[in-house]
Chain A
Amino acid sequence: MTTVTAPDAPPGATAGIRKARGGGFWRYLLVRFLLIFPTIFILVSLVFFLMRLTGDPITASLGDRLSPEQLAERIHAAGYDRPLFVQYLEYLANVFTGNFGSSISDGRPVTEILLTYGSATLELAIYALIVAFIVGIPLGMVAAYFRDRWGDAALRIFAILCYATPVFFAGLVLKLIFAVWLKALPVAGRASTRTELRLQQLDDPTGIYLIDAIRTGSSSAITDVLTHAVLPALALGLLTAGVFLRLVRTNVIGTLSRDYVDAARSRGVREYRLVRRHALKPALVPIITVIGLQIAMLLGGAVLTETTFEWKGLGFQLAEYLAKRDFVAVQGIVALLAVIVALTNFIVDLIAAILDPRVRY
């Protein structure tokens, strides 16, 4: 009864609506795309200013090893004695051209660190996501369907446990059980030394060990790589699976109580199909949006998982640089991750927009 809504479109006006819908979609994408830039800008600036509040990175990293004169010289050489604002502008300009700085301890450019170790993190993240999807989404639907019965309660406790267990603790326990006591799986690393050497002999390795192992064609290499991946993937994957389970459950319960589910039921549609088709797909839009945010959490979790399993990826490196107090490297890696997060979120929103026919901004 409110007048804010546009009047009901007369039948002839549908062509107009179609057009508007197409326009709305592209406009939405454009706005979302443009939002990437302020997001990156805000995060990069935040990281920069936070890091600089503590003083200059050279003192932090080498302060206890160099004399004050040597320090002052290094600081001057690196330009850290200039006004903060000048440094900030320079930093922004560098970031804009893809230069995230170089580490102090070993002088490697951050982008190079990313290229070297990024593939390992990507591989781990993909494994973990696969585990999370396989475990979280079907179980979430089951829990929603059996809501408030014992099965549901058990699944929810499982989900909370998945979430309540810190990844590194889950990693430790898995390691203790499967690697130390049962000796069924390797303790740490991405592959055995032999396999690693073999993979390095490939010309132009992808860095994603599974792909590289398949390329060598050796089944023992593939098995080796996969057995190394099981525990880290489980530790990180179950954490995310818990989140997915709960998310799917809540949203599917929400859509199951909608009129259109009742309407479909009144047409004799099967219960399984009601959950699978009618409740899940509308629920997917919010689910996917949140999954986008979970990718950020997955990256945070990857840092801890990689440390636990000595999985030599970005997170492992980050922890190393943290231990060395090499804050330029830390700042660079964190800023770079910010860019990645902003980009993934855009892609996720894109998928959500394609799934939802009503999308409008």
Chain B
Amino acid sequence: MATHDTAVDIRGLRVSFDTDGGTVEAVRGVDLQVAPGEVLAIVGESGSGKTVTSRSILRLLPETATVKGAVLVGGEDVVRLDAARLRQLRGTQAAMIFQEPSTALNPVYTVGWQIAEGLRAHGKYTKKQARERAIDMLRKVGIPEPERRVDDYPHQFSGGQKQRIVIAMALALDASVLIADEPTTALDVTVQAEILDLLRRLRDEYGTAIVLITHNMGVVADLADRVAVMYLGEVVETAPVRELFAAPKHEYTKKLLAAVPRVELVERAAPESAAAEAVVEATGLEIEYPGRLGKKPFRAVHGVDLRIGLGEVVGLVGESGSGKTTIGRAIAGLAPVTGGSLRVLGTEMRGVKEREFRAKRRELGFVFQDPATSFNPLLTIAECVAEPLIVHGLASSAADGRDRVDELLDAVQLGGAYGDRYPHELSGGQRQRASLARALALDPKLLIADEPTSALDVSVQARVLELFEELQERFGFASLFITHDLAVVDRVAHRVVVLHRGEIAEEGPTDRVLGAPQDPYTRRLLASLPVPDPDEQARRREALAALQREAG
């Protein structure tokens, strides 16, 4: 079957890892073919084996892995190749792009050196030739002033640029297959759109086959020709992209697609109490981080006016560096307010003393982004959830507050037995629900949720969001919901505030801001968000291109 029109042919691939607990099968009999110039997306959630499958194309697996089956790349079986031939094949036949561009580049060598190194590993290049080719590659992937920047170190580039450089490295050796493992996950949505464009161009101009590993169905719809859905180490469905989105066959695929948040523009009116009373009121809010050793302080937030009414959910949206997390932290008293005014639950936060604010903390809950670190690993879940009760004197010990804790855990659909477990024994989604339980323990008026779902898989995210909505309706707390994902905000917020570089770009009712954005930045942000529908996404791509031409 290894004809000339398959770039990669995976047959009966099984990968297992030796662990102390026995052998764990990560990939269980996978068959996949990729044609030249085709983009095959492998989707699945964490633990589905998609990354292991893609890495076995280059046999980049740890020593504890046992590989069975065949992986044909350019007609050669990678599984059985000897080390020398395998090395020759790496880079020239197939190249790889990594999830985190900042760790895929060696920090102590210039980018030019690193590109040249790959070249010189595979052929005779003089220093000068290698450098010229490196400059050439950097230009091709859209790095401005490549002649000068070829001598820069990785830390001198932005995240998106670093990913371009990683792509340039893969490109430099004319690899016919590109393996892209979550290439845009670590990037902002506007940067993501640019990288996806670059990958598309590579495919079109060089006929490179791309194996795209992602969990983001929007990215799939944007770039893929064909999709393989993986679940628990097996491919459960393979279909052309349109077919898959239009008529998913496998149960799991259906569930996966249903869980993907979409911008649906549901009108959601804030409760009447919101206009009457404000729990948070910021005017001209400024937050600066002091610079180290005489450097200029870094201004994270400037001149922000923000109001959260009683019982109102405000979505705070922005990319990394927009200041959204900083605002959330300032409201919780974790970051000092350096200018303007911020009133939280009636207390002025500028220059506030912790002692004055401590009593108000009863009315404030916080859900952190990373479920892995938000619980003390040495306390059980019940003890963690009981902490607020003990601190505010509602319970003398964890055992004393257990009834209330069980009640709370029930409310977030974690049966009481979970309370006796330690945090590491829970999955990410369960921990995030427990985190909600802890935040709600004192029945707060205000809940700050800082990217509560961004570390979770799609289906788990859907469940947590659902729970959030339900709890909000039941308890009626006001909330500041911080996220980078417009689709998530559409799901939960009454009102949306879009932040851009520390300033408010646009704000208004959710359906208005997402449906008819006025500010150019909001429009770009919205247009960059890939939607899980290939045809719709193609149209949006055109629209984004037009928007960018307009902006010059």
Contacts and interface: CB of A to CB of B under 8 A. Distances in A.
Contacts of B128: none
B121 A268 contact: yes
B321 A265 contact: no
Contact of A259 (B98, B118, B155, B158): B98
A7 B318 CA distance: 12
Contact of A11 (B144, B170, B173, B321): B144
Contacts of B117: 264, 267, 269, 273, 277
A264 B98 CA distance: 11
A261 B501 CA distance: 34
A260 interface: yes
B156 A4 contact: no
Interface stretch (A150-158, A189-197, A329-337, A353-361): A353-361
Contacts, number: 135
B303 interface: no
A266 B91 contact: yes
A11 B138 CA distance: 13
A219 interface: no
Given A3-B323, A7-B321, A361-B293, A267 B118 contact: yes
Interface in B316-368: 320-326
Interface in A212-245: none
The contact size tier of chain A is: 35 or more
Contact of A268 (B87, B153, B292): B87
A12 B161 CA distance: 12
Interface stretch (A13-21, A125-133, A134-142, A319-327): A13-21
Interface residues of B, number: 61
B275 interface: no
A27 B484 contact: no
Given A264-B117, A266-B90, A267-B173, A259 B104 contact: yes
A182 interface: no
A155 B166 CA distance: 37
A268 B325 contact: no
Nearest to B114: A264
A1 B105 contact: no
Contact of A358 (B153, B161, B325): B153
Of B92, B117, B149, the most chain A CB neighbours within 10 A belong to: B117
B108 A268 contact: no
Interface in B72-94: 83, 87-92
B422 interface: no
Given A3-B321, A260-B103, A268 B92 contact: yes
B39 interface: no
A8 to B, nearest CB: 4
A358 B369 contact: no
A281 B108 contact: yes
A264 B156 contact: no
Given A260-B107, A265-B90, 18 more contacts: A1-B369, A7-B322, A8-B158, A8-B320, A8-B321, A27-B294, A258-B103, A262-B104, A263-B104, A263-B105, A263-B166, A263-B169, A266-B96, A269-B87, A271-B83, A282-B106, A358-B107, A361-B292
7 contacts: A3-B300, A8-B191, A261-B106, A267-B90, A268-B92, A269-B117, A361-B292
